[in-house]
């Protein structure tokens, strides 16, 4: 599932290419996403200007004036900005030529298409259909069920050592599960929680309440640095994630422990171990992490 760096990378690209464009037509080819796309969506979006693109946790927010289009990519979704080619079938990314040859988007999964006034299109593709597209009045955004319970963004000043220490106090849950709880900190998932804990030298199964102030500080510092590096690399791609130009993220080669169980640690050569925490596989180095 795309996490904060992937969604932020996507937001930044789209902000440069589609802000100011007018939606001229909407095609909903498959409404059966995680929640059905409402039949009124196409008419409601027509002739609306994309004024800005923001992010809240793992959600994209397209500012349309009085309303906001909320988009969540789910587990396999992508939102690519494409231009209709001259004299051919299908669509191409706006400024990057054809889709990356190693990662092809099956047009059968192009479920929602927003045509823009420069003959380009925003296309939502989602093979597993776990994503979400929902139009909300701007005034109701703070109370939206998807957003109202979210904790501070993992890149915000509000996510600091004092805050995390307060949330960890008296909590018996594993620190990795605490970091992945969107009510505690918004935007982290399995990949970046595991990697941040490796950088901080803390095992993912450690009880949150048992962490020292120094460990809490290291986790917060490592999280911010890691996320910014991943954003700079366009995020991480393993299967489906593509940015707005149809390109995979480039951060995967820098991952130290995620999905590397049984391989040697890049730092100390100890075998990476894995355990299940909160029904998710959690990889760690038993020597580098305490």
Could you tell me what percent of the chain has a pLDDT over 90? 80
Question: Which of the residues 2, 5, 204, 248 is marked catalytic?
Answer: 2
Catalytic annotation present for 176:
no
Site of tokens 């929602």 = 112
Question: Which of the residues 21, 48, 56, 58 is marked catalytic?
Answer: 58
Contact 245, 235 (CB under 8 A): no
Report pLDDT for 236.
79
Report pLDDT for 105.
81
- pLDDT higher than threshold 50 for residue 97: no
Catalytic annotation present for 290:
no
Report pLDDT for 240.
56
For residue 185, CA distances in Å to 22, 127, 197, 210 come to: 34, 28, 15, 19
Q: Measure the N-to-C terminal CA separation of the chain; round to a whole number of Å.
A: 28
DSSP state of 104: -
Q: What is the pLDDT of residues 130-147, one digit of tens each?
A: 999 999 999 999 999 999
Q: Which residues contact 238 (CB under 8 A, 6 or more apart)?
A: 252, 259
Catalytic annotation present for 280:
yes
Q: Give the rounded distance of the alpha carbon of 46 from its chain centre.
A: 27
Q: What is the pLDDT of residues 213-243, one digit of tens each?
A: 999 999 999 999 999 999 988 887 655 556 6
Catalytic annotation present for 58:
yes
Report pLDDT for 99.
36
Q: Which domains does the chain have, with CATH numbers?
A: 4-143 (3.20.190.10), 161-284 (1.10.8.50)
Select from 88, 39, 1, 10 the least CA-distant residue to 244.
10
Facing residues of 281 across strands? 276
Q: What is the pLDDT of residues 30-78, one digit of tens each?
A: 999 999 999 999 999 999 999 999 999 999 999 999 999 999 999 889 9
Report pLDDT for 2.
85
Report pLDDT for 206.
98
- How would you class 184 by CB atoms within 10 Å of its CB: exposed for 0-12, middle for 13-18, buried for 19 or more? buried
175 conformational bin, left if phi > 0, alpha if psi -120 to 50, beta if neither: alpha
Report pLDDT for 173.
97
């Amino acid at each position: 599932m795309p996490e904060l760096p992937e969604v932020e990378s996507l937001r930044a690209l789209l902000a440069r290419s589609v802000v100011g464009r007018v939606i001229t037509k909407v095609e909903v080819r498959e409404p059966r996403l995680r929640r059905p796309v409402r039949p009124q969506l196409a008419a409601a979006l027509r002739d609306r200007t994309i004024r800005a693109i923001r992010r809240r946790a793992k959600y994209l927010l397209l500012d349309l004036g009085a309303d906001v289009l909320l988009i969540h990519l789910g587990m396999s979704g992508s939102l690519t900005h494409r231009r209709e080619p001259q004299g051919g079938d299908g669509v191409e990314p706006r400024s990057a030529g054809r889709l990356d040859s190693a990662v092809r988007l099956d047009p059968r999964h192009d479920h929602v298409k927003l045509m823009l006034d420069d003959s380009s299109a925003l296309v939502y593709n989602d093979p597993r259909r776990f994503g979400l597209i929902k139009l909300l009045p701007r005034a109701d955004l703070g109370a939206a069920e998807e957003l109202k319970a979210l904790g501070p963004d993992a890149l915000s000043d509000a996510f600091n050592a004092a805050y995390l220490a307060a949330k960890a106090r008296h909590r018996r849950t594993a620190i990795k599960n605490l970091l992945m709880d969107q009510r505690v900190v918004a935007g982290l998932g399995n990949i970046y929680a595991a990697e941040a804990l490796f950088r901080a030298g803390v095992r993912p199964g450690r009880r949150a309440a048992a962490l020292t102030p120094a460990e809490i500080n290291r986790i917060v510092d490592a999280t911010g640095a890691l996320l910014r590096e991943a954003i700079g690399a366009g995020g991480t791609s393993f299967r489906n994630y593509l940015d707005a130009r149809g390109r995979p993220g480039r951060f995967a080669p820098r991952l130290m422990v995620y999905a590397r169980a049984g391989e040697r640690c890049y730092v100390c050569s100890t075998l990476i171990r894995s355990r299940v925490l909160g029904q998710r596989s959690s990889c760690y180095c038993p020597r580098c992490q305490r």
